Structure 1
Amino acid sequence: MVVFELIDNRDSWNKEIQKYNNYNPYQQYEWGEYKKKLGWKVASIKANDNGKIAYLQITYKKKFNVFLGWCIGSIAGDVTSFHKDNLIDFINKTFNTKYVLIKSNFTNILEFEESISLYSSKWTKASKKISVDYTIYVDLKNSYEDLLANCSNNFRKNVKRGYSKNLDIEVKTLGEYNEEEISQLFLRFKEIKDVPLPNLDEIKKIKENLSKSIVIATSKIDNEIVGLRAFLYLGHKALDFWATTDSIGRNNYTSYVLLFELFKKAKELGITEYDMTGIDPLNNQSVYSFKNGLRAKKVEKLGEWELSNSKLLSFLINKIYL
């Protein structure tokens, strides 16, 4: 018999999910608190299936008797503990709903046994995908020298060029930055290239909840920030979070330097796994080329899955809404 429990304790949640190697930094309790500020509700669920423990955090919206949810990060622990029938029954009883659709983008590396476990638990591959299934993992157990040596010749040259041109670099937590300065920076960068960056209100909400969980590296040339890169982390795992440079930064190889400065800081924090958060050789060749220059491990993620007890609800969301 599976016993489900809603967890409402930050320290307990973060400590417990880190016991399992398939956790993800997005699963941290603080990310859920940030999503609440954006109008979502959050359910942090522990499952105990006769001693097989797992944790799943879901952002959701409920209207009438319909529950629409999105899994944050991954399932930490034994994925079979979140069998479709048991989970839907728990949700309907707990939230007084009748129809359920839960979508996910599991960001951990695809493992055959874990994929089979999801199938056996009646999860299905998402009928409509909204992101890529591939990423690059950087092994920060390697020394700084080895990380650099493993890069392509061109990447190594650009790192060295960058260090000669970017002489004013800062690496601090988000909490140490002024959110208005970051917002103005993002607005200026978006004028150069339309990229998905948060506005001031979103940055404030992120800072309120994740001020210590996000580390930012910036470079100034002639007293003006020309590039910014950041990672989100929990425990020994980090993922690339923000990355942008202006035309001056691109001409001075700023992105290369900031990435390696983040690697240095991550190693200081005890981080051993760094997820470059997605590669798309077909539709985003320039970003893929940059990340691939690291010559790090390219992997397929467990990817997008879903479960539902209503074919009509699944059709409407996947075919019309998304």
Structure 2
Amino acid sequence: MTIDILEKATRDINNTPIVQQTAFWSEVKTHQGLETKAFDFKVKNRDIYTNVGGHSYTYADLLVLQKPLDSQYSIAYVPYGPEIEPSEEYQGRFLEELSEIMRSYLPKSCIAIRYDLNWQSHWCDESYFDESGLWTGPPDKKFQEFNLNYNTIEWNLRKSNSDILPSTTVFLDLSLSEEDMLMQMKPKTRYNIRLAEKKGVRVFQAGMDKISVWYKLYKETALRNGLFINDIEYFVSVLTARADDTSSPAHVELLIAEHEGEPLAAIFLVMSGHRGTYLYGASSSHKRNYMPAYALQWEAVKIAKANGCTEYDMFGVSPGPDRSHPMYGLYQFKTGFGGELFHHLGCWDYLLDEENYKYLQISEMNAQGYYLS
């Protein structure tokens, strides 16, 4: 397999529905203090897809974030990339070849390339669902590594101990009419949307002048659920970045639900390519029986649809209805809107420095993590 690669300006990243692979996201992460890089690459289709011959090529690109671990070591992080998804038997070889070529573009302190793969999990056939149709999850880590490293030369791919971005999400089909989307929802979800309207919950599009309203709700939510708390500048960078003069901008909306002037809940909606993504959410403990979160999501869906999006990413749920999972509540809430569950492959590390890879593992053990517990 031969992959030709060329570094380019991040402003020239191709348009994509994956917000974490846009010039917009590069701008956000640059504002947050990370170094970002972008690469064009091409590869013969017969080298990455089964039952394909000839000499045609796939042309694509990817965004890479350089993340320091400490004063000595760093990793290259590819959020939800690469976007192109080779046939399963070629995926490991493709990642190996891509990584070895990218190695020369990365600092010597870089000990691994972490791919947060949005490719479909290899373990989604019928044998990985129980009698009630629920996904039983992937096999043990060693078997996953054997599967992805098969056909590679160095066997350098390691399944990371945790995922950074959600590995399971729910996609809604926005090509349907609003009436059909409502009919796909669970009855309780439809009822709660109408209840919020009946109670007088109002959703409006806010600007930077309301960022403090968002942050107050966010801190309350984080403390209530034991989540790590980002500072307000983290969200300012998302709301103010636009990348309008680039090849892959994004449109961001801060939506707030209120009742009689009292803010009850808020979300960040990001639209890129043909997809709307529910990126962040927060809510008050007060008047939760007014169902402001349902009103917010329904309004976000309608806004995304009106802006030409054909799908909506609910962004992150537990893999199934496991009550012990910290994201079970999100599973209950988001699956109520209908749509389809999608299971990603999650985070995989390609080792560039096996001897010092332990520093990445140590840093993750010591990291705060998403949940405080």
TM-score after normalising by structure 2: 0.73
Q: Hey, what does 1:153 align to over in structure 2?
A: 187
* 1:65-98 deviation line (CA, Å, top 9, x unaligned): 8551111222123657984454444444334527
Instruction: Give how far 1:264 is off.
Output: 0.4
Q: Hey, what does 1:171 align to over in structure 2?
A: 205
Q: Hey, what does 1:13 align to over in structure 2?
A: 13
1:54 aligns with 2:89: no
Instruction: Give how far 1:287 is off.
Output: 1.6
Q: CA 1:312/1:184 → structure 2, altered by over 3 Å: closer, same or farther?
A: same
Q: Hey, what does 2:349 align to over in structure 1?
A: 306
* 1:98-119 deviation line (CA, Å, top 9, x unaligned): 753011222354478xx98886
Instruction: Give how far 1:139 is off.
Output: 0.9
CA distance in 2, matches of 1:64, 1:93: 21
Tell me the secondary structure at the aligned position of residue 294 of structure 1.
coil
* 1:281-315 deviation line (CA, Å, top 9, x unaligned): 33122221111212321121132222113323333
CA distance in 2, matches of 1:117, 1:47: 21
1:288 aligns with 2:331: yes
Q: Hey, what does 1:2 align to over in structure 2?
A: 3
Q: Hey, what does 1:247 align to over in structure 2?
A: 285
Q: CA 1:224/1:119 → structure 2, altered by over 3 Å: closer, same or farther?
A: farther
- What amino acid sits opposite 1:56 in the alignment? L
CA distance in 2, matches of 1:276, 1:225: 22
Quote the sequence identity (%).
Answer: 17
Q: CA 1:9/1:70 → structure 2, altered by over 3 Å: closer, same or farther?
A: closer
Higher strand content, 1 or 2 = 1
Q: Hey, what does 1:138 align to over in structure 2?
A: 172
Tell me the secondary structure at the aligned position of residue 77 of structure 1.
coil
1:70 aligns with 2:70: no
Q: Which runs of 5+ in 1 are unaligned?
A: none
Does the 8 A contact of 2:83 with 2:118 survive in 1? no
Q: Hey, what does 2:117 align to over in structure 1?
A: 106
Higher helix content, 1 or 2 = 1
CA distance in 2, matches of 1:176, 1:257: 22
Q: Which runs of 5+ in 2 are unaligned?
A: 45-56, 124-143, 244-249, 366-373
Instruction: Give how far 1:205 is off.
Output: 2.0
Instruction: Give how far 1:321 is off.
Output: 3.2
Does the 8 A contact of 2:10 with 2:26 survive in 1? no
Tell me the secondary structure at the aligned position of residue 182 of structure 2.
helix
* 1:153-206 deviation line (CA, Å, top 9, x unaligned): 21111111111113432135xx56543343334335445554455432222222
Pick aligned residue for 2:215 from 183, 202, 225: 183
1:126 aligns with 2:173: no
Does the 8 A contact of 2:42 with 2:58 survive in 1? yes
- What amino acid sits opposite 2:170 in the alignment? I
Does the 8 A contact of 1:219 with 1:254 survive in 2? yes
Q: How many corresponding residue pairs? A: 312
Q: CA 1:147/1:197 → structure 2, altered by over 3 Å: closer, same or farther?
A: farther
* 1:114-146 deviation line (CA, Å, top 9, x unaligned): x98886566735231235532211111111111
- Greater shift, 189-198 or 237-246, is seen at 189-198
- Greater shift, 161-170 or 60-69, is seen at 60-69
Does the 8 A contact of 1:171 with 1:261 survive in 2? no
CA distance in 2, matches of 1:67, 1:268: 42
